Homo-oligomer: A and B are copies of this chain.
Amino acid sequence: MQMGEGVEWGLHCCVTLGWLKDEGPVSIRRLAAWFDLPQEYLKKRLQALTRAGILTSAPGAGGGFSLARPPGQITIMDVVTALEGPGEAFRCAEIRQRGAGAEGETFRGPCGISRAMRRAELAWRRELAGQSIADLMEGSPGAGERTRRNYARMRG
């Protein structure tokens, strides 16, 4: 079970856009160069974040991406859901209802395996929903200043 690499990309872009919030939209070209990422693949991820209402996208020259809401109102869970989809990692196919083992039984309610997996996934979601982009920004003291300095240099 593995999360797509886009989650790391999306989270770092959100944190960086949080630090650059006074600089106006940041172009996809600059964001790709910032992390040395393939521009077209990154663009698809950022478009998914835009569809989810996490980023806004301004078109044209001088356009680019910005956070759509304050970084304290964007959780890691929001970003993961936007990029990985809302589905649960464990999907129960109800195999207990199939085959010779199921004879003579009517199944009511979800099975214990499905419940246990869901409980674990809720614990995971709770942790990710309890951390915002603002928390990530606060957890990297000094990085905001460096980001603005390097961005000013990049803009030349």
- Please give, as numbers and ranges, the residues of chain B lying within 8 Å of A82 by CB-CB distance: none
Contacts A35-B96, A91-B3, A95-B35 given; does A116 touch B128 at CB 8 Å: yes
Bound together, the chains give a CA A124 to CA B127 distance in angstroms of: 9
Q: How large is the interface on A (under 10, 10 to 19, 20 to 34, 35 or more residues)?
A: 35 or more
- Chain A interfacial positions (CB closer than 8 Å to B): 1-5, 7-9, 11-12, 15-16, 30, 33-37, 76, 84-85, 87, 89-93, 95-96, 98-101, 103-105, 111-113, 115-117, 119-121, 123-128, 131, 135-136, 139-140, 143, 146-147, 149-150, 153-154
Residue of A90, A91, A92, A121 ringed by the most chain B CB atoms within 10 A? A90
